[in-house]
């Protein structure tokens, strides 16, 4: 069979967020997706390799252990990974899917061209029976462009990226997936669990300071996107764990007094100690997940967890077929 490689793009939605109101708000924030330009995607890979960031290693361990069961349960002929990054964790699943099928198509969907490139470089070595499709898109706005297929598709959303959405965004995203799923489709979702606060905090405050670099890089990306004048040296990385909400909150905290010229030419004063929220990372309990799946019309079929109960992978089906 011929191997297909393609990059579909140009469908990434126009910026819908209003950067001016996000920055003028008392609780300042920036849209998370701007963390992932070429440099951001490279730095994220480095975060995954740090000693403190247990998420990637743990999730990979679970996938490697239960891969055959995931493939057998889902009967996957196609694997569709959303926010795939470098697709490093997916190799075993693809190999197992290829054991059951003569050819398998893997779709890599990501907003970052660099991530898609890294993904392609990982996957092309696996097997010439693997068809690879690269799709550049925004999973918060572009899921409606996904073409469906007659084959059994396994959707995947790994890395606890679901934790980077608030409850409303998470429900919308999961409902979108549940809506596009057909009867024989499955959905594998990776979630980070509530655990000892110290372990969580360390994962977002690595000793080498890579997470700090990753966080500050968002300023260079929005500078380019909106012609702003942020200087990353005027900010410090600040990742706190909010126990009530079970979430990491990643801020950039101003360390000097400064003025930012907004796209409407207004000048915005930022004072020492002012904080800009760049990302949340929620940690889930059984109860919050149960509610979230229920609200999103998804039914868990299986749950795979590591020995320490740090991280889980849920295999889900769309409720409409029950």
Q: How far apart are CA 11 and CA 256, in angstroms?
A: 39
- Does residue 138 bind ligand SAH (CB under 6 A)? yes
- Cβ 252 vs Cβ 218: under 8 Å: yes
The only residue of 159, 200, 222, 289 in contact with ligand TRP, by rule CB under 6 A: 159
Among 52, 110, 192, 206, binds ligand SAH (CB under 6 A): 110
| Strand ordering across the sheet containing 235-242 | 28-29, 275-282, 247-254, 235-242
Closest CB to ligand TRP among 66 and 157?
157
**Can you tell me which of 135, 159, 296, 304 binds ligand SAH, judged by CB under 6 A?**
159
Residue 47 makes contact with ligand SAH by CB under 6 A: no
CB-closest chain residue to ligand TRP: 281
What is the secondary structure of 285-321 as a DSSP string? -HHHHHHHHHHTTEEEEEEEE-TT--EEEEEEEEGGG
Whose Cβ is closer to ligand TRP: residue 41's or residue 74's?
Answer: 41
139 binds, among ligand SAH, ligand TRP, none (CB under 5 to 8 A by kind): ligand SAH
Helix axes 38-48, 210-226, angle to 10 degrees: 170
Cα dist. 230→21, 27, 40, 239, 268 in Å?
16, 18, 17, 20, 11
CB of 37 to ligand TRP, least distance (A): 14
The phi and psi torsions of 140 (rounded to 5 degrees) equal -90, -20
The answer to whether 83 contacts ligand SAH (rule: CB under 6 A) is yes
Residue, CB closest to ligand SAH: 159
DSSP 3-state assignment of 16? coil
Does 312 interact with ligand TRP (rule: CB under 6 A)? no
* Main-chain dihedrals φ then ψ at residue 221, nearest 5 degrees: -70, -45
211 binds ligand TRP, rule: CB under 6 A: yes
Q: Which does 163 bind (CB under 5 to 8 A by kind): ligand TRP, ligand SAH, none?
A: ligand TRP
Decide: helix, strand or coil at residue 29. strand
> Cβ 130 to ligand SAH, closest distance in Å?
18
**Of these, 23, 30, 43, 47, which contacts ligand TRP (CB under 6 A)?**
47
181/131 Cα distance (integer angstroms): 21
Can residue 189 be called a binding residue for ligand TRP (CB under 6 A)?
no
Q: Which stretch binds ligand TRP (CB under 6 A): 72-80, 208-216, 219-227, 286-294?
A: 208-216
3-state secondary structure labels for all residues of 156-225: EECCCHHHHCCHHHHHHHHHHHHHHCCCCCEEEEEEEECCCHHHHHHHCCCCCCHHHHHHHHHHHHHHHH
Question: Shortest CA distance to 116 belongs to which of 93, 86, 78?
Answer: 86
Task: Give the one residue of 139, 155, 173, 230 binding ligand SAH; rule: CB under 6 A.
Answer: 139
The yes or no reply on residue 55 touching ligand TRP (CB under 6 A) is yes
Nearer Cβ to ligand TRP (148/242) = 242
Residues that bind ligand SAH (CB under 6 A): 33, 36, 41, 44, 48, 56, 83-85, 110-112, 115, 138-140, 158-159, 161
Residues that bind ligand TRP (CB under 6 A): 47, 55, 159-161, 163-164, 204, 211, 214-215, 250, 279, 281
């Amino acid at each position: 069979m011929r191997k297909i490689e393609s990059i579909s793009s140009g469908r990434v939605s126009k910026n819908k967020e209003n950067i001016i109101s996000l920055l003028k708000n008392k609780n300042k924030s920036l849209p998370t997706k701007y963390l992932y330009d070429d440099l951001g995607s490279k730095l994220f890979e480095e975060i995954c390799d740090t000693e403190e960031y247990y998420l990637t290693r743990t999730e990979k361990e679970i996938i490697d252990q239960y891969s055959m069961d995931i493939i057998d349960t889902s009967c996957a002929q196609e694997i569709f990974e959303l926010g795939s990054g470098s697709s490093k964790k997916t190799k075993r699943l693809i190999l197992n899917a290829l054991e059951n099928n003569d050819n398998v198509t893997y779709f890599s969907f990501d907003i970052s061209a660099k991530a898609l490139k890294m993904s392609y470089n990982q996957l092309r070595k696996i097997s010439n029976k693997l068809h690879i499709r690269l799709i550049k898109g925004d999973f918060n706005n572009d899921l409606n462009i996904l073409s469906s297929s007659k084959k059994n598709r396994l959707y995947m959303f790994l890395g606890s990226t679901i934790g980077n959405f608030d409850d409303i965004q998470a429900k919308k995203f999961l409902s979108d997936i549940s809506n596009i799923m057909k009867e024989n489709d499955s959905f594998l979702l990776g979630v980070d669990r509530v655990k000892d606060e110290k372990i969580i905090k360390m994962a977002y405050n690595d000793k080498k300071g890579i997470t700090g670099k990753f966080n500050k890089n968002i300023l260079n990306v929005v500078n380019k996107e909106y012609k702003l004048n942020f200087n990353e040296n005027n900010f410090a990385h600040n990742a706190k764990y909010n126990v009530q909400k079970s979430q990491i909150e990643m801020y950039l905290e101003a360390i000097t007094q400064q003025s930012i010229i907004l796209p409407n030419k207004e000048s915005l004063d930022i004072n020492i100690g002012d904080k800009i929220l760049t990302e949340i990372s929620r940690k889930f309990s059984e109860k919050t997940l149960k509610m979230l799946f229920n609200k999103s019309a998804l039914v868990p079929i299986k749950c795979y967890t590591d020995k320490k109960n740090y991280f889980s992978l849920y295999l889900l089906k769309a409720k409409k077929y029950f």
